[in-house]
């Protein structure tokens, strides 16, 4: 773009400078070359500004992507933690249920032994007492 334009201006200036040596057109050609150079510089500045804006946009996009990634990681950790909490609750509920079942079984065995002991005492009393009264 601007380098090509500048090279063409130099070629034109060199060609016109050698063909019109000593004429009054040299200052005008130099002025034209200066204008071409100024235009080339303006284009270069515009290109540089566009490149800087593009870099800034990409930097902003990268920051947004990093922020989204961080949020996604937090969401993942929350989901994993929630799943772990649910699993722990299920384990504790199962343990409570099992403990309750064992307690009921132990209570039933104790009640059964107590009942059997009473029956045995009653039978012993009945047999020892002659079975009458």
Diameter of the chain measured on Cα atoms: 160
Judge whether 13 and 30 are in contact, CB under 8 Å. yes
Highest mean pLDDT among 4-18, 60-74, 101-115: 60-74
Highest-scoring range by mean pLDDT, 21-25, 27-31, 44-48? 44-48
Please indicate, yes or no, whether the overall pTM of this predicted structure exceeds 0.75: no
The three-state secondary structure class of 30 is: helix
Which residues are within 8 A (CB) of 12 and not within 5 positions of it... i.e. 6 or more apart? 29, 32, 33
For all residues of the chain together, what is the average pLDDT? Answer: 85
Torsion angle (degrees, nearest 10) of CA 14, 17, 18, 21:
-170
What are 36-92's pLDDT values in tens digits? 889 999 999 999 999 999 999 999 999 999 999 999 999 999 999 999 999 999 999
Tell me the three state secondary structure of residue 20: coil
């Amino acid at each position: 773009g601007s380098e090509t334009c500048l090279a063409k201006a130099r070629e034109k200036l060199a060609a016109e400078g050698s063909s019109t040596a000593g004429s009054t057109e040299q200052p005008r050609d130099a002025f034209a070359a200066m204008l071409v150079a100024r235009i080339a510089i303006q284009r270069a500045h515009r290109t540089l500004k566009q490149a800087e804006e593009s870099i800034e946009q990409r930097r902003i996009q990268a920051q947004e992507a990093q922020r989204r990634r961080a949020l996604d990681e937090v969401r993942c950790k929350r989901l994993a933690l929630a799943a772990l909490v649910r699993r722990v609750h299920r384990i504790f509920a199962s343990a409570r249920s099992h403990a309750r079942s064992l307690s009921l079984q132990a209570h039933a065995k104790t009640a059964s032994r107590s009942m059997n002991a009473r029956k045995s005492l009653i039978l012993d009393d009945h047999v020892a007492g002659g079975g009458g009264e």
